[in-house]
Structure 1
Amino acid sequence: MTGSDPDDPTRFYVTNLGAGSSVAVVGGTAYATSALGNALAKVDLDTGDTAPFATMIPTPCAPCGLEPGTGGSLYVLSKEGSLYHVNPNGTVPEFPLVIPAHVNGVAWDGGAHAYVTSDGGVLWRVPLNGMRPKPVATGLSGDAWGVALDKDQAYVTTTIGNLYRVDLTTGHYEAPLATGLGFATGVALDAEGAFYVSAADFDALLYRVNADGTKETIGANSTAYGVALSEDGHAYVITGDGQLWQYAVAMAPAQ
């Protein structure tokens, strides 16, 4: 474990994940998924200890998106077209919500809906009562991947390096807020309106995109598939080789 300076990140090894695909942080614990298996792991952010948390069904599930729910529960997305609400003790429901396939990221609005991104540049609204999902926005350039919510707005990254703002009421979006973000996989929003975008290329592990659209590189030399912010001002990034990196960003997530 090294220092927490942004140029010298603290690194935790998620040893039981073959390929990290998403990350969520709840209190002092990070949860991570593996795209190649059907596993979820939890990491103690104080000690770096890693342990299995849940095994998804069916096998292979290919979990690819992760979002905290209430009371320690997690919403877990799978590529094959399912949304699971995993209980705080790690038990997995037998019957998940059925959603479109080829999905990538998930965010929860704190109420009755989840929002899911998919290949082809689509943002979906998924009613948690089991009703049919409906597209909110289509035609985003590239495959839609990361998604974060702030009130009635969604922020979506795409695989050609764009960051979009989508009005959740109308589905309207304009030109990207930022471009040139590589293979942009995940996004998190902090309390000052800045975005943290993970990238699955070797030019940047993590970008910070300021409210004015300017960007800076925080980390490099790996492929990142998800990012989450913690209340104590750190960004956590999961990489394609199953490592979890910590960067001091000194800003808590947006509420």
Structure 2
Amino acid sequence: MKVLVAIKRVIDPYVKVRVKNDGSGVETNNVKMAMNPFCEIAVEEAVRLKEAVRLKEAVRLKEAGTVEEVVVVSVGETSCQEQLRTALALGADRAIHIEAETGLEPLTVAKVFQSVMEKEQPGLVLMGKQSIDSDNNQVAQMLSALTGRPQGTFASNVTIDSDTVTVTREVDGGLETLQLMLPAIISTDLRLNEPRYASLPNIMKAKKKPMEQLTLADFGIDASRHQEVLNVVPPPERQGGVRVASVSELVDKLKNEAKVI
């Protein structure tokens, strides 16, 4: 079975984000970029599913003949290839880069992956539940609607058994378990796994792994925008906290300074 994994290039989560002077967006020039953390979890899960067939405790999975190939896909500028190579170093088998401008709307991205699914015919699609830059949390759901495939979002556990996949997903009230018929679409949550670090030998091997380069025109997809960002502003700076000597002083400050009561 083939697993398709979507990844996105974002600002490194440990970098302090700066807003441009003109308020048109956030500064990305000379800023460290990385793979979206949720996408990294999706890559790790796909690689683990592939490795499971070689583990002694995964005899049941081996008999089912599960994951044989992991394909990573990214939509964006040429710089996305850096993150694709990282995914290849983590254990993916090949990569597909679809050249496009940054900041595509979620529906456009979903349509791109719909076309990729038609081309690759994967048994399973894994993607992060959201990207840490736009936080839309929409692509997986839109892709499921466009393709008519079952979906399991916010997955904290994934188990493949023959022609079905069991997904434990995190919901407001606790955990929910779903059984989906393959092919299916799953979005990953933080507690699904802990991504590995790429070893130096695997980084070197990744340079020789195949990477296909396509464009939106190859799929006949219109990237016209239906949304417009009017302005981006940083959050207001918070004032330092103070110690109070008594409850009455606390109530006085909440009432007269913070004006919350």
More helix by share: 2
TM-score, normalising length from structure 2? Answer: 0.27
Q: TM-score, normalised by structure 1?
A: 0.28
Higher-Rg structure is 2
